[in-house]
Structure 1
Amino acid sequence: MSDSPVGVVGDPAVADRLREAGVPVTTGTVDSVPTTERVVTVGEPAVRAVAAAATDPLVVPVAAGRGVRSVSRDDVATAVAGLDEAVTEHHPLFEVSVAGEDVGTVVFDVTAVTAEAARISEYAVETTSDSVGRFRADGVTLATPAGSPGYARRIGGPVIAPAESVGVVAPIAPFQVNPDHWVVSLDGLSVSVERDEATVALYADGDEVTTVACGETARLQQSGALRVAVLEASCSRFH
């Protein structure tokens, strides 16, 4: 293993565990990400912070979900010791804009949903060259491969492996008997609100970032990739 320090974001106890194993460590926070070549990210917020920082380290996700092949806290020292033999997965990252204004960077998913309970709206989803679907529903989730085992899976979407730009479109409680789910390129994908019946909130990786008015469009644009180390201790994304 390299003698250069390993950054740790998200849990000081994990940093302490690595120090006890003889690993040189640089600690950081979600607001101050280390500039080390290798970073251990504990939890989804830490993964998102490193992605947004655009420092391009090799990331070891810990307790951050199946989509990024996390390792457990108990296995973190073994995982870091084996980094020189790791396989690298590249997870696409996307910038989200509404009405032309940037609202955030997405690692896992973007969700548009009516802000009021028991209200639905109508959504149109389009790629850069085709209409994907138009439907009435509580909302819609656009999930990256990293996000596909999460909320999108719970509402019927498939789990997919990392691939450039590819992701899942999954309606939320659609007003139809047999709803479709789609695997499409997320680069340039847009969602527009077609009915002025309810306030639609937009969430990026679980955080509400803005609202989308009737006639407005939320659009994804690929902005890079997150490099994730896959090791013997990494969990499967499929089970």
Structure 2
Amino acid sequence: MTQPTPISRVRVRGGTPDPDLGRLEAVESDAEAEAVVAVGADAIADQALADASAPILPVGIDDRYGTPRDALAVAADALAAGDYRSVSHPVLEVSVEGEQVARGVFDVTLMTSEPARISEYALDAAAERLFEVRADGVVVSTPLGSAGYGRAAGGPVIAPGAGLSVVPVSPFSTRASPWVVPGPLSLSVERDEGAVSLYVDGAEEAQIAPGEPVAVERVGTVTCLRPLTE
């Protein structure tokens, strides 16, 4: 295995006050940077969707695929020494009735908007109906986002390249199970008892009516860095 090239210049995105970069030099633009230190979920998502070529060191999300803020100096020294590995995570495009509404890197969620209301959701993948479930919602997570809301809803943490997790949120039936699918996939609301909202990376993007298909597919990848620290 080829040893990764040591990194010396990074751009910082997000984070206040300025983070401790150890031996790394902070630069002002992606063009000068060999990597981007993205602090916080918003900064990570914004950088991942910017179609920039520099890899990302995710900081301040889960400790499975991100670096804790208080460990950034140690992680920065690992990057400077070439002690890291690169992993690819998918970028998702979300469409409703064939029209693109958003892109995301963490998760896509259908959620019944009103408290104490449930709806019936369906998942289709590879032209096959995989489940229909009465639940508060359904969350689709990438590996990068799988340790967040998907795990809180009872889903697995997904290894890079293993697929997308699809987890019913508070299902009415105890027999409902999460799925791991390669994608693309389609979610739909079969019937509802209240408004159903579509969220992408935590931002509400649309209201979904019964029968409207919500398509989720991979449209690219983002490279993230995993420091090899003790």
Say whether 1:145 aligns with 2:143.
Answer: yes
Q: 3-state DSSP class of the match of 1:117?
A: coil
Query: For 1:119, which of 108, 117, 120 is the aligned residue?
Result: 117
Which residue number in structure 1 is paired with residue 3 of structure 2?
none
C-alpha RMSD of the superposition: 1.9
Structure 1 contact 110–203 (Cα < 8 Å) conserved: yes
Q: 3-state DSSP class of the match of 2:61?
A: coil
After superposition, the C-alpha distances for 1:167-206 in whole angstroms (9 at most, x for unaligned) are: 1111111121222111111x22010111153211001111
Query: For 2:195, which of 174, 195, 199 is the aligned residue?
Result: 199
* Distance change >3 Å, CA 51–CA 175, structure 1 → 2: same
Structure 1 or 2: more helix by fraction? 1
2:73 is aligned with what amino acid?
A: A
Query: For 2:59, which of 15, 39, 62 is the aligned residue?
Result: 62
Say whether 1:213 aligns with 2:214.
Answer: no
Structure 2 contact 123–188 (Cα < 8 Å) conserved: yes
Uncovered stretches (5+) of structure 2, i.e. residues with no partner: 1-5
Aligned-residue identity in percent: 39
The count of corresponding residues between Structure 1 and Structure 2 is: 222
1:8 is aligned with what amino acid?
A: V
Which residue number in structure 2 is paired with residue 25 of structure 1?
26
TM-score, normalised on structure 1? 0.85
Say whether 1:46 aligns with 2:43.
Answer: yes
* Distance change >3 Å, CA 39–CA 194, structure 1 → 2: same
Q: Shift of residue 43 of structure 1?
A: 0.9
Q: Shift of residue 37 of structure 1?
A: 3.0
In 1, Cα distance between equivalents of 2:23 and 2:178: 47
Structure 2 contact 135–168 (Cα < 8 Å) conserved: yes
Q: 3-state DSSP class of the match of 1:50?
A: helix
Uncovered stretches (5+) of structure 1, i.e. residues with no partner: 29-33, 235-239
Q: Shift of residue 91 of structure 1?
A: 0.9
Structure 1 contact 125–132 (Cα < 8 Å) conserved: yes
Which residue number in structure 1 is paired with residue 69 of structure 2?
73
2:217 is aligned with what amino acid?
A: Q
Q: Shift of residue 22 of structure 1?
A: 5.2
Query: For 1:101, which of 91, 99, 104 is the aligned residue?
Result: 99
Structure 1 contact 71–233 (Cα < 8 Å) conserved: no
